[in-house]
Amino acid sequence: MIRLLVVRHGETAWNRLGRYQGCIDTGLSAVGRRQARALADALADRSIEAVYASPLRRAVETARVIAAVHGSPLYTDAALREMCHGAWEGLTVTDVAGKFPRLWASWRHRPDRVRMPGGEALSDVEARVLPAIEGIVERHGRGEIVVVTHGVTARVFLVRAQGRSLRDLWAIESPPAGISEVWVNRGRYVVRRLNAVAHLPAPPGRHAAL
């Protein structure tokens, strides 16, 4: 059996501002760096064999702190990057709701039907992240592995691990530096813990959904 610890990166300044990041390469804020340290401390008693991360800086910075505590190898995989939000990237929630009202409403109520203008659909994210996770499982086979990724990407994997539809994306919280634990045995996924945040020094930002 393999135990996956699926982690969202720590907070960025854009998370705090409610600004869509997508594939824009933002780094951690001071709060995010403290959260990364808290993550590493929370996982210090685990036997982490490897850490995998999205290549975006906010994920790599978070993953590097965790890997350093364990002396674990750190690998990046582009398939773990955040959903490309296209024309929404760099805009705030208020901007998007004003400029794309119908698409914004669809994104909140039927995210599985939305393709971001100039960006991806959830099905595109699923098509890259699920094989990436399966590859990690096959590569290691057993033990504990940390996967550091992003809000939408983590949700896509977790709803599928629960056997749910992409329509249920918003039923799952994805706070910065939250930890989910998924056990994998013979291709069967069991979600044992979902976005735990008790280890954090302060509550996650109010725009944790971005």
Question: Residue 196 is encoded by which pair of tokens?
Answer: 């735990």
Question: Residue 36 is encoded by which pair of tokens?
Answer: 């990364």
Q: Which of 70, 109, 140, 150 is catalytic?
A: 150
> What b/e string do you get for 172-181 counting C-beta neighbours within 10 Å, with b at 16 or more?
bbbbbbbbbb
Q: Which of 9, 70, 109, 140 is catalytic?
A: 9
The helix/strand/coil state of 123 is helix
Q: Is 150 a catalytic residue?
A: yes
Question: Measuring CA to CA, which residue among 135, 125, 114 is closest to residue 157?
Answer: 125
Question: Residue 205 is encoded by which pair of tokens?
Answer: 């930002």
* Inter-CA distances, 55 with 7, 59, 64, 176, Å: 14, 7, 11, 17
Residues that are catalytic = 9, 150
